[in-house]
Each structure stands twice: as structure tokens, then as C-alpha cells.
Chain A
Amino acid sequence: MITRPMNPLPKRILRMIALAALFSLSLFAQTDPSAPTIMRRGPAPGEKPAVALSPAVIVAKGQFGAATTQTLTLSNRTAEEFAFEMMAQDVVVRDGKRVFVNAGELPNSIAQSAEFSLKSGVAKPFTSVTVDVRLTVPKQTDIRAVVAIFHGTHVISKSRNSVGMIASLGTLITFSLTDNIALTPAAVKVVANRDEANITVTQPIANSGKEPVLPQGVAAILNSHGNLVAKSTFEPQRLLPGERLNFTTEYGGHLARGTYKVLCSFEYEGKELTSAGTFNIR
């Protein structure tokens, strides 16, 4: 039998394989739910001690029945331990206001599907704890937002004369699942005060669709000749389905006496919304 001698693999390829194997092993370590990642971190110079949560907001797009796993990191930048329990709540809009509902209380709850890699824990002083949350969107639901909360549970006060207040933080997770995206504007309101050189433009907008949107807009002020004389940006605000908010911007410059037109233009999910109004400076 004739055998051919094997060509030895170059050392560079062997090194790459070894690195890949080590990386893969590190993935195993991170997916172990009983082993949260803990990182030591001291407070930055001048930083006020606080508990911080990252990310603040997660915007997910997909389809009914799909699942997502997200990693949340709680940083305890205080000298005290922060004991917590993980909980999820559905966020819906009732009578124009956001309401936070315990998991499972609403039909087709997304929060009920929440699986946390760590159900409770303690963040030691100046450390961070990471928790993975897996959420599955039911095959049919009107819910589009969930909040995953690090719910503080530590005992903080034993005084009879004081009321203890425990801090908790949540990450807002929104889901876009259909193409039913629609905003409905109401009439633009302008409050112009020439003496104070201040013009406030308010554009009420309602989310009349089924999906959360984050409109970004600008107000343009045109004089009677149609020339642009001022421009001001609206602060972006997230609108959940059924929610109605006032988008307000202020222009601090002086405008001469006269009649003006204000054009409000918003962009959201590749769409545009425009509305107009007029006002006088006397």
C-alpha cells in the first residue's frame, strides 16, 4: 500500500483554529444562565452614584410568532448592593395614557413569554450584571411594547420616621409587526410673543396605526412672500398605537410684524406627514 505523506498545515492556520475554538468556548460560558457576566467598574470622576440600565430602548421589527433574545446590563455605580428581581410588563395605551400591565393579565401578552437568564440577583457595589431576556411574540396580538424591569428588592430603611423609596429601572422593548403605520395630525397651534421673542409651535399627533413610531420633525416659518425665515426642530417622541402627544418646538429669534405661515413636517418609517397653520406677529 502506498501512502502519500500529508502536508502539514501552516502554523498560521492552526493558530486561527485555536483562536476560533477559544472564542466558541467563551460563547458557551456566556449562555450559562447561572453565570451572569459581572464586570467591575468604579464611578467615573464627578459622576453621581446611581444605578444605570443599558440599553434604555430596544426597537425590534419582525413578524408574529417570532422571538428575540436581548441582553440587558445593570450597572451599580453605588456603594450599596442592589438586589433585584426581573419582571416583564406589557405596555398599552388606555384613554391616551400608557398603562403598564402585569405579564399574562392581557390576552396575547408578550410579557408573559419573557424568559430571563437570571430571575433574581444582586449587583455588588461598582459592578455590572447582565441578564438575557427572551421574548416571543404571540401569533396574534395588539400589544407592541414590553418593559423588562430590574425590580429593586433590597431593604433600605428601618427608621420609623422615614419613608423608604426603592429605585427600579426598566428597558422599553417595542415591536413593529405589520405595515399598518399611520399618524393623524390635529391642527397646529402657534403661540407668538413678540416682546419675549419667543414662538412656540405645537403639533398634536395621534398614532392611528397599529405600530409604534418615532416621528422626527421640523417646523419651518415662512413670511408672506413664502420665504423661509426660521426653522426649529421638534424633539422626537415615541408614539405607541392609540397614543396622542403634543410635539412642541420653540423658536427664540425675533420676527418682524406680519403674517406668517408655519409648515410642520415629520418623517416616520419612510413616510411623511405635513401640516400647516398661520399666525400673526403684532
Chain B
Amino acid sequence: MRGRFVLAIACVILCAGAARRRPALRLPASPVADGVMSFSIVAVPDGARLTDLGGSSAGIDLGTVSRVSGARSNVEVQPKATGFEVKTRFGIIIRDPAARGRTGSLLAAITVPTRYTIKLDGVQLGPAARLVASALRPGTVTTHRLEIQVPADAREDEAALLNAIQLTVVPE
């Protein structure tokens, strides 16, 4: 009697569990899922120094820059009619040890509204993520060009570009 009671309870639990997990309509074939992708922001020989902010995030150390004064090494400052432009480089390395030949796309966006014009690899960044580079090969450092156009009337307190750039890597 006790055994049958345990059997009945187990059946109820199993049926309820199965009912909760299964959607009413499913894609008929089992999806194929594979790969583990990661990426890191790295310094490159002709680029600015990076501040390691914990693995995948980083800060590009531009130093103190102005229209007339210099900056840190590998940070170029060019006066413009409308202000000045700061240029430097940094690297990205993606990893996907499981998949042969899989490449990645790099998307970028600005996370904080700013009057500065920020370009990555020549692509002007905005609040919506845009594709800036594709076919990034795992294990290979790719170099990316960062350009920041600072308006002539920019105040010093505007220079705090907290979390200015969002970099997203998506497998291709």
C-alpha cells in the first residue's frame, strides 16, 4: 500500500514537472548549440596605455589632453577648426577554443550622451550599437583606431567619459 502511494506521488511530480518545462509548440528539430566565446581588450604597441579594469573591461589612458598640450605616448592630438581630435589605438582578442574557423563581429556604441564625436575604425558611434569590424579571428589581436573629436567650447568637467564605449562581440 505504502509502495503504491509513493509511486502515485512520484508520477504526479514527474508529470507536473514535464508539463511546466515543455512549451506548447516547439521547433521540431533540436537546435545545435556549440562554442564558448570570450574576448579581452588589450594594449597594442602603437596604442595608448590601458587601465585593467577587470578582465574584459578596460580604460584607455589618454592622459590630460588639450588643443595645445601634448598627451601620453601613442596618443595623437590634432588641432581642428572646431576643436581638437584625439587619436589612439587599442586591441581586441577573441577566443573560441571549441570552434574551428568561427569568427566574430565587433559592435560598438556610446553609453553616455556626449557632445564629443567618437569614432571607432572610422565608424561614428551613437547610442545604438553599430558594426565596426567583422571576421575577427580567435587568437589573433586586431588593432582598432579610436578617434575623439572634442569641440572647442568643451568644458573640463565634460571630459569625464564614464563608460563611454560599449564593445560587444557576437559570433558570426
List residues of A whose CB falls within 8 A of some B CB: 6, 8-9, 13-14, 17-18, 20-21, 24-25, 27-28, 31, 48-63, 65-70, 75-80, 82, 89, 91, 97-100, 102, 134, 137, 147, 149, 151-152, 154-173, 175, 235-238
Contact = CB atoms under 8 A, between A and B. Distances in A.
B165 A164 contact: yes
Given A100-B131, A172-B170, A14 B6 contact: yes
B124 interface: no
B56 A51 contact: yes
A68 B26 contact: yes
Contacts of A18: 6, 10
A173 B21 CA distance: 21
Contact of B27 (A63, A98, A155, A167): A63
B75 to A, nearest CB: 10
B68 interface: no
Contacts of B35: 54-57
Contacts of A162: 51, 59-62, 161
A66 B21 CA distance: 15
B168 A151 contact: yes
A164 B112 CA distance: 11
Given A56-B96, A60-B31, A169-B37, A66 B25 contact: yes
Interface residues of B, number: 80
A163 B36 contact: no
B95 interface: yes
Contact of A59 (B32, B53, B55, B102): B32
Q: Which of A13, A76, A91, A166 has the most CB of B within 10 A?
A: A166
A156 B54 contact: yes
Interface on chain B toward A: helix, strand, loop, or mixed SS? mixed
Contacts, number: 258
Q: Which of A69, A102, A147, A156 has the most CB of B within 10 A?
A: A156
B164 A164 contact: yes
B59 A63 contact: no
Contacts of A8: 3
The 4 closest A-B pairs by CB, nearest first: A80-B54, A78-B55, A62-B27, A56-B35
Nearest to B59: A162
B140 interface: no
A163 B138 CA distance: 25
Given A21-B10, A57-B33, A58-B33, A80 B55 contact: yes
A3 B114 CA distance: 86
B27 A237 contact: no
B101 A235 contact: yes
A238 B21 CA distance: 31
Given A66-B25, A67-B27, A164-B59, A152 B166 contact: yes
